[in-house]
Structure 1
Amino acid sequence: MLPTSPPSRLTVLVSDARALCGVEAFARRLAETAGDRAMTHVLGWNLPALGTALNDRDVLVINLPVVAWKKRLAEPVAAAATARLAGRAVVLVLHEWADLDWKRRATYAPLVPLATEILFSSPEVARQFAGSPVARLATCRRGIVPIPPNLVRPALLPPTALASRLAGERAKGRLVLGHFGSIYPKKQSAIVLEVAARLKARGQPVFVAFIGSFVKGIDQVEEDFRARVAALGLEDDVLVTGYVETDAEIFRLFEEVDVFVYAFAEGLTARRGSVLACAMSGRPVVVNAPAEADAFAHHPTYRRLIDEGRLRLVPTDADADALTDAIMAAAAAPAPAVASGVDITAAWNDVLASVDAVLARPAKS
């Protein structure tokens, strides 16, 4: 048997943000999963400190998009160049591409030729990147990373005022619909509102909990949302929690949800960590199916959830009526005797394995 090289040692670039987005949480959890093989380095202009951090490491890992990108236009490029000059590999993990504003993609273009490996958050993002002009400058050492939930369910879930509010709505006989994550156009929150209106029209009292906040910097997102709530007569039937700080608070809210619902513009994709987080609650999740048959070929956790029926897929182009039918069926179905959880350790080990796999490929691949 041929000897195998030891796993690569990683320096994972992170920000100093306190309110974590999904990409930032992913970066930090990746380093945690790698254990002694990894360390984090805070993004900034302290290049001598980065050089020191790379002394006993083989690879710099950069997740894109970065937090507060307008203030950090050149810092990721400088970090990647420093790593390459030190003879280290540079792995880019692209969580989004075509969905990003073109100006944001332009700021990441200089990073592409510096990368020795590129990982994508889903097959769709990989295809988006491959179809862009900048892909001609990129390495062929590419792969797909199975994005896991970024949350951890604590053993104890303390009571909160928001959870008590939802419990009160359930006590009134209302069906509580849940929608977790940031609110922005491609998540099609307007369709969730349409579903709520149809449930009311069918005689089903309903209350919708949007567990998250509106994305800043996109024109009129909150204004359009509020206007649609009013137009549908749902002013007393919708709650937007705003940013929820701790995992314990999030999962306590999840316990008061009857059914989660999503309707993505492109259909479900493997990078939707919010859907996986909801599935961790044991509650049914109604979501429109992926547009591509191979969407979850790389993602063991998603495949298991679908096989178990915990993700209730409707057609990719399902309208509000089809979603409403699926929600009513899910609400009427008996709850499982034991709510199956997501094996978080296994899911994150799958992530680390995907990073190691692309690093282990022969240079000519």
Structure 2
Amino acid sequence: MSKRRYLALVSDAVQTCGVEEFARQTASRLGIRGRTHLLDGKIRTLVSALDDADAAILNFPVVAWKRKLAEPVSVALTTRLRRKDLVVVLHEWDALDWKRRLVLVPVVLLATHILFSAPEVADEFSISPLSALATRKRDVVPIPPNLALPFSLRSGSVAQALKEQRKAGRLILGQFGSIYPRKQSTAVLEVAAHLLAHGHDVGVVFVGSFIRGLDNVERDFYALADRLGIADRVTVTGYVADTEDIYGILNHVDVFCYLFSEGLTARRASVLAASFAGKPIVVNAPRQRNALAHHSLFRKLIERGAVRLVATDAGVGTMAEAVSKAPRGGVAPLDATAEIGALWESVIDALDAHAAAH
């Protein structure tokens, strides 16, 4: 077994994004072979940390790095000057703003190994001009859920409110994860309004917070809820730190609903995290036939009825019909801990495969 040591670069963010969680958990899953290092602009401490590592790992895009995009470049350069390997994990590519991709050019060119979060991201990168200049040592890795499963549930005020709504006969739709335009979270509002118009008593809970950028995500979200006449049926929790609280809330969701602009892809770790609440998830199917071929957990969730696929280009009516039927079907249990462990073994194998290729 390889004894290769890794240094994962992380931020000091308290409210972490999924990519940040992946970076931190990678170091944790590596055990004594993995350490984290704070991206704080201090090259001297970085050099010291690199002395005890064989490779550095940089993940993109980390939300907390938006204001310090020059630092990953200096980290990449320092890593290579110290004759250490540089593993770059690209969770997105075409979805990134072109200015962010431009800043990442030197980082990618310095990489000795590139990992992608999904075949779609690998394909996007392969047709970019940068691909011809970058390393050919590339792999697609399965992204595990971005949450660790809790040992117990905590029933806070939001969970109690949802419990009371369900007692009164209300169907609770849910989504876990950050709220932003590309995720099309507002489609769930439209699904809820459609169901309400057809005689269903529904409520919606979003367990997550808005990603604030140049657009008015939060303002537009609530404006749509008002126009649809469901504002009093919508709950947005904001960032929830503890998994006991998160799953305490998710436990009171009847059906999870996602309608992604590109269809389901393997990098949607928030869908995996939601699946462990044991409730059905209705989501539009991947565009590519091989999109989930490398991801054993997604395949099993579909096989066992936990993830219910509708057409990739499904409209609100189709989604609403699938949501209304979803609670009637059972969800076959699986050993979540074992499945998550298997995914992390695949990630670590991909990291170590590069060492074996030296």
> Which TM-score bucket, shorter chain as reference?
over 0.9
Q: Secondary structure at the match of 2:282?
A: strand
Runs of at least 5 residues in structure 1 that lack an aligned partner in the other structure: none
Match of 2:56, SS?
strand
Question: How far is 1:237 from its partner?
Answer: 1.2
Once structures 1 and 2 are overlaid, which stretch shifts more, 340-349 or 316-325?
340-349
For the residue of structure 2 that corresponds to 1:229, the secondary structure is: helix
1:347, distance to aligned residue in structure 2 (A): 2.2
Shift of 1:73: 2.4
The reply on whether 1:258 has 2:244 as its aligned counterpart is no
| Pairing 1:67-82 to 2, within 5 Å after superposition | 67-82=63-78
- Range moving further from structure 2, 327-336 or 184-193: 327-336
For 1:161 and 1:194, locate their aligned partners in 2 and report how far apart those are by CA, in whole Å. 26
With the length of structure 2 as denominator, give the TM-score of the two structures: 0.96
Alpha-carbon offset, residue 361 of structure 1: 3.1
Q: Secondary structure at the match of 1:236?
A: helix
Query: How far does the alpha carbon of each residue in 1:201-245 deviate from its partner, in whole angstroms, 9 at most, with x for none?
Result: 221100000111111014121122111111111022111111111
CA contact (8 A) 1:11 1:61 kept: yes
Code of the residue aligned with 2:345 in structure 1: it is N
Q: Give the TM-score, by structure 1 length.
A: 0.94
Letter in 1 for 2:72: P
Give the stretch that moved more between structures: 165-174 or 43-52. Answer: 43-52
Amino acid at match of 2:71: E
Q: Which amino acid aligns with 1:330?
A: A
1:53 equivalent to 2:17? Answer no
**Structure 1 residue 341 and structure 2 residue 336: aligned?**
yes
Matched, 1:125 2:121: yes
Inter-CA distance 205–340: structure 2 relative to 1 (3 Å threshold): farther
* Alignment CA distance shift 1:335-1:28 (3 Å): closer
For 1:356 and 1:329, the matched residues in 2 are separated by 44
1:25 offset after TM fit, Å?
0.7
- SS in structure 1 opposite 2:278? coil
Identity of aligned pairs, percent?
50
SS at 2:30 equivalent: helix
Aligned equivalent of 2:300: 304
Structure 1 position 257, deviation (Å): 0.3
1:29 aligns with 2:25: yes
Matching residue of 1:276 = 272
Q: Distance in 2 between matches of 1:282 and 1:10?
A: 35
Indicate the residue corresponding to 1:162 in structure 2: 158
Q: Which amino acid aligns with 1:25?
A: E
Letter in 2 for 1:127: D
Query: Which amino acid in structure 1 is aligned with residue 246 of structure 2?
Result: I
d(CA) in 1 for partners of 2:163 and 2:60? 38
Listed as ranges, the matches of 1:109-120 within 5 Å are 109-120=105-116
Q: Secondary structure at the match of 1:28?
A: helix
The separation in 1 between residues aligned to 2:307 and 2:325, in whole angstroms, is 13
In 1, are the aligned partners of 2:174 and 2:257 still within 8 Å (CA)? Answer: yes
Structure 2 gap segments, 5+ residues each: none
Corresponding residue SS for 1:129: helix
Displacement, 1:345? 1.9
Map of 2:314 onto structure 1: 318
Instruction: Name the count of aligned residue pairs.
Output: 357
Render the CA deviation track for 1:178-223: whole Å, top value 9, x for unaligned. 0111111111122211111111122110000011111101412112
Question: CA deviation digits over 1:270-306, x for unaligned, max 9?
Answer: 0000000011111100000000000011111111111
1:339 offset after TM fit, Å?
6.8
8 Å Cα contact 2:280-2:308 kept in structure 1: yes
Distance 2:188 2:46 in 1: 45
Distance 1:34 1:97, change over 3 A: same
Contact between 1:93 and 1:119, CA under 8 Å: does it hold in 2? yes
Cα distance in 2 between the residues matched to 1:58 and 1:320: 50
1:12-31 Cα distance to aligned partner (Å, 9 max, x none)? 11111111111111100000
Report if aligned partners of 1:187, 1:265 keep a CA contact under 8 Å in 2.
Answer: yes
Secondary structure in structure 1 of the residue aligned to 2:289? coil
Alignment of 1:1-365 (within 5 A): 6-334=2-330, 341=336, 343-361=339-357
TM-fit CA distance, 1:340: 5.7
Supply the distance in 1 between the matched residues of 2:12 and 2:219 (Cα, whole angstroms).
Answer: 30
Distance 2:131 2:334 in 1: 43
Residue 68 (structure 1) shift? 3.1
RMSD after superposition: 1.6
Counterpart CA distance in 2 for 1:105 and 1:335 is 40
